[in-house]
Amino acid sequence: MRMEDLKRILTEVKNNKTDVQDALKLISNLPYVDIGFAKYDTHRFLRQGFPEVIFGEGKTDKEMVKLCKIAVENGGVVMVTRVVKKTADYVRKHIDGFKYHADAHMLTYGRSNGKRSKTGILIMTAGTVDRFVAEEARITAQMFGNTVDTSYDVGVAGLHRLLDQMEKIKKARVIVVAAGMDGALPSVVGGLVDKPVIAVPVSSGYGASFKGLSSLLTMLNSCSPTVAVVNIDNGFGAGFMASLINRL
Amino acid sequence: MRMEDLKRILTEVKNNKTDVQDALKLISNLPYVDIGFAKYDTHRFLRQGFPEVIFGEGKTDKEMVKLCKIAVENGGVVMVTRVVKKTADYVRKHIDGFKYHADAHMLTYGRSNGKRSKTGILIMTAGTVDRFVAEEARITAQMFGNTVDTSYDVGVAGLHRLLDQMEKIKKARVIVVAAGMDGALPSVVGGLVDKPVIAVPVSSGYGASFKGLSSLLTMLNSCSPTVAVVNIDNGFGAGFMASLINRL
Amino acid sequence: MRMEDLKRILTEVKNNKTDVQDALKLISNLPYVDIGFAKYDTHRFLRQGFPEVIFGEGKTDKEMVKLCKIAVENGGVVMVTRVVKKTADYVRKHIDGFKYHADAHMLTYGRSNGKRSKTGILIMTAGTVDRFVAEEARITAQMFGNTVDTSYDVGVAGLHRLLDQMEKIKKARVIVVAAGMDGALPSVVGGLVDKPVIAVPVSSGYGASFKGLSSLLTMLNSCSPTVAVVNIDNGFGAGFMASLINRL
Amino acid sequence: MRMEDLKRILTEVKNNKTDVQDALKLISNLPYVDIGFAKYDTHRFLRQGFPEVIFGEGKTDKEMVKLCKIAVENGGVVMVTRVVKKTADYVRKHIDGFKYHADAHMLTYGRSNGKRSKTGILIMTAGTVDRFVAEEARITAQMFGNTVDTSYDVGVAGLHRLLDQMEKIKKARVIVVAAGMDGALPSVVGGLVDKPVIAVPVSSGYGASFKGLSSLLTMLNSCSPTVAVVNIDNGFGAGFMASLINRL
Amino acid sequence: MRMEDLKRILTEVKNNKTDVQDALKLISNLPYVDIGFAKYDTHRFLRQGFPEVIFGEGKTDKEMVKLCKIAVENGGVVMVTRVVKKTADYVRKHIDGFKYHADAHMLTYGRSNGKRSKTGILIMTAGTVDRFVAEEARITAQMFGNTVDTSYDVGVAGLHRLLDQMEKIKKARVIVVAAGMDGALPSVVGGLVDKPVIAVPVSSGYGASFKGLSSLLTMLNSCSPTVAVVNIDNGFGAGFMASLINRL
Amino acid sequence: MRMEDLKRILTEVKNNKTDVQDALKLISNLPYVDIGFAKYDTHRFLRQGFPEVIFGEGKTDKEMVKLCKIAVENGGVVMVTRVVKKTADYVRKHIDGFKYHADAHMLTYGRSNGKRSKTGILIMTAGTVDRFVAEEARITAQMFGNTVDTSYDVGVAGLHRLLDQMEKIKKARVIVVAAGMDGALPSVVGGLVDKPVIAVPVSSGYGASFKGLSSLLTMLNSCSPTVAVVNIDNGFGAGFMASLINRL
Amino acid sequence: MRMEDLKRILTEVKNNKTDVQDALKLISNLPYVDIGFAKYDTHRFLRQGFPEVIFGEGKTDKEMVKLCKIAVENGGVVMVTRVVKKTADYVRKHIDGFKYHADAHMLTYGRSNGKRSKTGILIMTAGTVDRFVAEEARITAQMFGNTVDTSYDVGVAGLHRLLDQMEKIKKARVIVVAAGMDGALPSVVGGLVDKPVIAVPVSSGYGASFKGLSSLLTMLNSCSPTVAVVNIDNGFGAGFMASLINRL
Amino acid sequence: MRMEDLKRILTEVKNNKTDVQDALKLISNLPYVDIGFAKYDTHRFLRQGFPEVIFGEGKTDKEMVKLCKIAVENGGVVMVTRVVKKTADYVRKHIDGFKYHADAHMLTYGRSNGKRSKTGILIMTAGTVDRFVAEEARITAQMFGNTVDTSYDVGVAGLHRLLDQMEKIKKARVIVVAAGMDGALPSVVGGLVDKPVIAVPVSSGYGASFKGLSSLLTMLNSCSPTVAVVNIDNGFGAGFMASLINRL
């Protein structure tokens, strides 16, 4: 149930278009739907302004379809993260309107129809392999109504590529930086700006990158106090956090 | 050099109160002062709106006085973190106007004279031992002109204490949560709100808390996407980040 | 050999229905059967009141059938954990009476015919992906004669879903909580009750969850002293421990 | 506020010895006392049957006295853990009735006046250096009204010393085992019994014991499913958990 | 080149059956054969009394055949460890006389024709899944001419199974103990004997066993000073070490 | 763009063979080509004397072809690391002139046509499984114009094999040592020479080698101060570093 | 009680010098003396041929004197490890005959009066800081009647120093090698010999030596199968193990 | 013995100023002096061109004086690292000519009298607390005859400070970069140059810097292949390595 739905119902009650009993029934939906293996949160839109995002791992194709149906019925705007193509195809075969974003491994349905933010979020990556995580952040931020720009493959080993992005960097209100290996990009970007930088460690790399531990530690130890960190590979979290901040 | 200083100089030039040569001299200060063991960044106020914060560890008392003097001369608003009382006393003996915050282990001088923010930042702690880190965040946020409220010792093991803080939680624009041991508080707070939560792991605890590693991992794995994390015990970073966000 | 079998034999001796020689032979079974690669413990039922549970990993299909046959002959109640479907099917093809629990990856045979406990065990999960581990705990506890209830997908990020379970929580004598990622649920549940909470870290999640290490540390550092912890993904151990306690 | 206090008030109301207004006032004490740096939980006795235990680390001597006073006033039975002798002496100088347990590093006041349990808890240690943690468990369990027995220095490297304890082991309802280094004792004890074993890793040892990590992992991987684990050096937690279980 | 070959040559020289030039040529074989990707050590038999053992990982089938041929030509007794069945079959198709040991994942050729040791080595395992590592130790020790006995699946959770092995334990000169999970068996065995115990951690288990780290740490921290440790899953190393000791 | 290309253009301008406008156009190529998912650095040859090396992981076959084409057009000398054979075949089908090095998992195109270095780089390995990493170093060093020699399979467990390489060791100007398992070879080689040794940990091995962590730590702790370390399995980095040094 | 004591008693019984009742009394001492915080094992000499060694950490001066007295009375040969000088002085003031070994941090009393072994144990160290651990091994081995030789400061970074020790190396039956930092010495020594090498990691060093973890991993991954490992800094364990082996 | 000494002796022999017997005696000094706890390497100057550097930790004041005397007698150029002031004062009281460098914690005696290098080594630090490690590198490099320049406190969070050092950076032949916390500086510097960068992680920082682990991993994962790494806090090793390279 979206805020606008709630407003509409209340307005109809006020205008005597819906009687109190029916309104009560409509509103008094349980705040979640219990479907055994999961409890789908239908009031999150009211609480946080966003629909519950479905975490795609560990669910069978059938369970995914079941959850997606409830989500479509309750929110209208749906995001599923970490969906492999096979499951995505299965969902799309059973429910119309879902779109699959291959690089981001996401399924989306509908889109925030609020006004698009004027100033926006910049998503940056250090290397080409970081783009999968960055795309998850980008799709997430766009689904929440943000204007999003990107600067990919601008790692610190080629400082001139990074400095060429200064205009984009200055224009953004919030910056998301995805980086694996040495994870040094957020520190450098964070030193250039006076706005929040959300750093996402990426599990790319090999050897002593220890599946993202290396860049995670780098980012937590960033000498720029403009940097906060989310989980390794958590592009969704970074996009969500940036959306929360940009909305302020 | 603060933005207002720069404006004043330019206005005086415009009004012929300062001639161009003198203005140039005033403005053309190097962006940092090189004092051998350190390069004090005097233009950070221009770049980020805040003075350089001095990291107190690894500096002798004499070096600290030297840096503090430059800071006072260039910025007018100064913060020193992680200062032990002995060094703080030494600085205060040699430079007037510094105040020592014992719980936060900070020295401050002056204060942002911009308007105080109306809506503000809430600093929460899970246990009593987390207050040292929380105080560092609080002093930092206040120095940057934020209205700051606190809810200390409201960890998840006594849920009723936490739920009593709902009003403060709802009123805040940004929330900082400091927690050691299980580090579970940010996840719970993050699930109650639709605003940014900056989580600070605290190195308190013993045994398998591994000096804050436990709460760091908990926070990075928070099931609430409203949570971003800074370094263990980094109260300053959390306060700084919250200030950046609250300023938007 | 179950306690009731032993009692029956002794009673028959007392009543002159079995002579001493035969009784001795029946009872003097070795306390385990040595089948080369394994020593099946046939007296565990006498020692602990439960049959030896067979750990399914690292055994060939044929070895599994061999062990299951001995178990059926000696105990009558059999549990096999961590069995993949292929092996389960093989066992069921060769021995009648086994049932496969797909979510729990368990094979069971027979069932404790003691009286079912009146008050019981509550199994809770934080997210949907934790249910595989939770199901292992549930089947285990049921096999040992406990009344078991479940509250799945009630993680701390949606506190209202959790608080809706208060009635179940209050009714239980022992609670098992399975959670991955931030592993915060046991701390919160543990703070609401005055009964033992057995926490099971789950290896679900990604990035800094480090295959369950994150939630393991969270649980070990729980601020609620009502929480004790078993190995990551050890649903069986949690169910067993809860059964031991509920039996008191 | 203890349950018996509450009962008394309600009885007095029923018997018209206290009028409703006064009763309300007495009962409606806040569930905690907010003293700035801490929120003392005064209703925990009602919720869990035990007073809040005060964690001694990170508190000044004065703060400790303040908390102890509130605790004495609200509960009558008080426990403080991890108190160094210096602080303990300070508290005892300012409040009468506290007793310091040097090996356990605990302060206690009063004692559960419920009936002492008939069957009880056995506290075991593998080596002599584990006794500090074991003593914390012992004092805790005794404070909660349990009959407690001990078997110290019976590690697995001298199996005959352990087997001499079989009578005590059989008599106990719950067993607490504290062990550092190889942490093997809970596995062996757990294999001998059909009752809950609460294992406490101890940070004693050197080298690859890594401050208790070694014994923690051993215990989590115990081949006996009768074992659950609490945090390294958490004697209090083990004693508390054993008390919860023994009370069933 | 085996010691006996060298002796024969020298004796023939002494007896004028081989002239000095030919003998020199025979003996002056390079101490290794350089075949590009590897340098096969042909004098190890002289230095250590054993042929070079070929480590099977990371070699193609063709390279393996090449190495095995050189080994057969130079030593007569050959062992290949960590060979998958596919490669073993390939070798056996190209060179006669190799035998594959499926559980041990080893290929062997010939056998020490020295006298078999009278007293011998006992190989023990805690659980059934440890037998793969134990078998590698057993085959290795047998290839080096030792009398080997085994006690499998006698973990500490069923102490009576272990105590039944006391006769074998007392008879052995050296004991190899393979154990995963809690890795507690070597500590217990080590406490029962006054002879060297070589402990091999096994990577079996799940969760906090962290691929053998758990049992490795347990064994390194063994309270019995009769225990020394080799690498996780290093059955070969344990068998080799036991052979060295038993030969004394 | 290579330095010689730049020189040619400038000479042509000087000699009036190219007019300034055309020259500007030729030179003013952006220092990188932005192809969306990547920014190919075309001026690296000018900055570092080497073409950008393409990191093969995380790129689709089509993307790889796209990048390789740009690289061929801009540099003439191209290296792709960590390419699986399937992708290599795809590239070779679409672009002529690429050569695949199977052991090194590298694609190369063209070759430095500068003079080959007289004295050179020695690449050493401890075991046969280290040769994949060593080959990456070898191909890299050769592509950059170095004379390269190799000493493979000369680990410290067979010291005589190592000492046989003393002549090669003495002749080299820089030494690259690849080793897994105990990683002891660089320490020993480093103690024999007075020239830089670049150590590459290799992730070969099993158990407590923890995917190269063991040899990484050994090398970082080398008692010979002639040793510096690159990332685990980073043969390319070692070859690059050795080239930089040998060029001095 | 030492074996010779037992023999003497039995012989006296046989010769009618002691009557059966008195003999029984003498022999039937409990196998350990229970002194509350510890159970001193008085029959270990019978079981393992050595007296119980007292671990000095975590015991007060008074407790140490108490244990030492019992040890002197029961065994006659006593070793205390990890004793600081202050405690050692206290013991020596209260009991005559103890000798303090400052480098080894050991107290000893008496000495094995069996025949000294002819061939012996060689103790080696890589660096000068490893000698504290090596001395603990040396004293231990000497107390158990072994002939012990030493080669200190012969690390692999100066191979000629090591090769000068070849004579000693060849003469020894068992070798103990203590090394910190890169821990490479046991691998090299192990490759030179065909006898057991007991490797002791030492926690000396700094940075990535991680308090001995680095050398521990190196030794566990030794390419020479002649190496087995004991705990970090466990000189006593190495000396004990070497004694067990040398006794064979 | 320095190369020049050797040359002089040989020249004297040639010129009949020293007879062959005496020369032999002079030259045939053992390559090291055995002083019990240490073997001082007197021929290292011949092998590596540098005297043995004395590692200051773990040696008593007396032992240090002993070693320093031998060093002075054999080499004439002596360096002692990691010496606390107290020991340094003791050495200087007993031997003339030693100089103590307080920031570097080093003692030096004499100085390479070879020609000073023309082009040189640049030592950089990210923050002020890194200067202790940097100074160790600087003194080391200067002792080996290098021209050394420094750029301290130029971390990536203030990129303008770093870019101001471009001239120094371009002039250097080898660069040493010391950095703690995020350890990002070597990656950025390494991307700007085509010369070797030796990175030294520094254990400064707090929380998730884990005593230098964070910056160590960052540096090992540097995206610039111009970077090689030495141990945490190993300023000496970095200075030595840079000297080796600059000498080429």
CB-CB under 8 Å, H152 with B37: yes
pLDDT tens readout for residues G26-73: 654 446 667 667 777 665 555 556 667 899 988 899 999 999 998 888
Which residues in H have their CB inside 8 Å of a CB on F? 47-50, 53, 173, 192-196, 198, 216, 220-222, 225-232, 236-237, 240-241, 244-246, 248
B4 contact partners, CB below 8 Å, separation of at least 6: none
Task: Give the chains touching E; criterion: ≥3 Cβ pairs < 8 Å.
Answer: C, D, F, G
- Give the bridge partners for B108, in sequence order: B79, B99
What digits encode the pLDDT tens for the residues B128-174? 899 999 999 999 999 988 999 999 999 998 888 888 898 899 999 99
Contact at 8 Å (CB) between F180 and F204? Answer: yes
pTM of the model: 0.90
The residue with tokens 């499926």 is E102
Work out the minimum CA distance from A203 to partner chain F, whole angstroms.
11
Q: What is the pLDDT of residue G119?
A: 74
F107 burial level (CB within 10 Å; 0-12, 13-18, 19+): buried
Q: Spell out, as residue ranges, where chain B has pLDDT lower than 50.
A: 1-3, 28-30
Residue of D nearest to E154 (CA): D223
Report residue E188 CA to chain centroid gap: 24
User: CB of B190 within 8 A of CB of B224?
Assistant: yes
The confidence score (pLDDT) of residue E17 equals 79
Cβ contact D229–C225 (<8 Å)? no
User: Please, what sign has the CA dihedral across residues E65, E67, E73, E78?
Assistant: negative
- Provide the pLDDT for residue D31: 61
What is the CA angle E23-E25-E27, rounded to 5?
A: 70
Mean pLDDT on A236-246 = 95
Q: How far is CA H103 from CA A96, E62, H100, H131, in A?
A: 70, 59, 9, 8
For residue H113, what pLDDT is reported?
Answer: 56
Q: E113 or D166: whose pLDDT is higher?
A: D166
Of H192, H231, H246, the CB nearest to F220: H231
In angstroms, what is the C-alpha Rg of chain H?
A: 20
What is the nearest CA distance from F52 to chain A, expressed in angstroms?
10
Is C146 within 8 Å of C242 (Cβ atoms)?
Answer: yes
Q: Which residue has the higher pLDDT, H61 or G157?
A: H61
Residue of chain A with shortest Cα separation from H204: A221
- How many Å apart are CA H31 and CA H52, to the nearest integer? 12
Nearest Cα of chain B lies from the Cα of A100 at a distance, in angstroms, of: 22
Once rounded to an integer, what is the mean pLDDT over residues D144-149? Answer: 92
Question: Which of residues D157 and H111 earns the better pLDDT score?
Answer: D157
CA F204 to CA E56: how far, in whole Å?
Answer: 12
Of G154, G204, G206, the CB nearest to H233: G206
Chain E residues lying within 8 Å of C209, measured CB to CB: none
| Chain G CB contacts of H235 below 8 Å | none
Alpha-carbon distance of D235 to D222, in angstroms, equals 19
Strands H39-41 and H32-34: antiparallel
D190-218 residue pLDDT tens: 998 889 999 999 998 999 999 999 999 99
Please state, in angstroms and rounded to a whole number, the distance separating the CA atoms of residues C126 and C137.
15
Residues of chain C falling short of pLDDT 70:
1-11, 13-14, 19-33, 35-36, 41-51, 75, 112-116
D152 with G32: Cβ contact below 8 A: no
**Structure-model confidence comparison of residues B7 and F202, the more confident one:** F202
Q: Which pLDDT score is estimated for G1?
A: 47
CA angle F97/F98/F100 to nearest 5° reads 145
Instruction: State the nearest Cα–Cα gap between G128 and chain H, in angstroms.
Output: 6
Separation in Å, CA of E174 to nearest CA in chain D: 18
Cα–Cα separations (whole angstroms), residue B208 to B180, D54, E165: 11, 20, 37
Task: State the Cα–Cα distance between residues G211 and G202, nearest whole angstrom.
Answer: 8
Q: How many CB atoms lie within 10 A of CB C60?
A: 11
Encoded tokens for B109? 């001088």
Dihedrals φ, ψ of F20, to 5°?
-60, -40
Across the interface, whether the CB atoms of B234 and H204 are under 8 A apart is answered: no
Neighbours of chain C (3+ CB pairs under 8 A): A, B, D, E
**Mean pLDDT across E234-244:** 96
Calpha distance F90→E181 (Å, rounded): 46
Tokens of G11: 């012989």
CB contact under 8 A, E222 and D157: yes
Secondary element (H or E) of residue C122: strand C121-125
Distance CA C132, CA C121 (A): 17
A225 → closest Cβ in B228, B240, B245? B240
Task: Look at residue F108 and tell me whether its pLDDT is greater than 90.
Answer: yes
In whole angstroms, give the CA distance from residue C33 to residue C14: 28
User: How near does any CA of chain A get to the CA of B226, in Å?
Assistant: 6
> Model confidence over G89-134: pLDDT tens digits?
999 999 999 999 999 999 999 875 556 777 799 999 999 899 999 9
Going by pLDDT thresholds of 50, 70 and 90, the confidence category of residue H24 is low
Residue labelled with tokens 């052991």? F103
Touch between chain F and chain B: 3 or more Cβ pairs under 8 Å: no
DSSP A212: G
Residue of B nearest to A232 (CA): B220
- Per-residue model confidence as pLDDT tens digits over C170-229: 999 999 999 999 999 999 999 988 899 999 999 989 999 999 999 999 999 999 999 999
D208/G31 Cβ within 8 A: no
CA gap H18, H84 in Å, rounded = 43
| Residue found under tokens 């001088």 | B109
Q: Which chain E residues contact residue F128 at CB under 8 A?
A: 37-38, 55, 58-59, 63
In this structure, what DSSP letter does residue E52 have? P
CB contact under 8 A, B156 and C156: yes
Q: Do H and C touch, counting CB pairs below 8 Å (3 needed)? A: no
Q: Which chain E residues touch C231 with a CB distance below 8 Å? A: 206-209
pLDDT tens-digit series, residues G73-85: 876 789 999 999 9
Helices and strands (H and E) in chain A: how many: 11, 11
In whole angstroms, what is the distance from residue H110 CA to residue B156 CA? 64
Which residues 6+ apart lie within 8 Å of E34 measured at CB? none
**Chain A: residue nearest B176 by CA?**
A228
Comparison of pLDDT for E31 and B89, the residue scoring more: B89
Split at pLDDT 50, 70, 90, the class of D1 is: very low
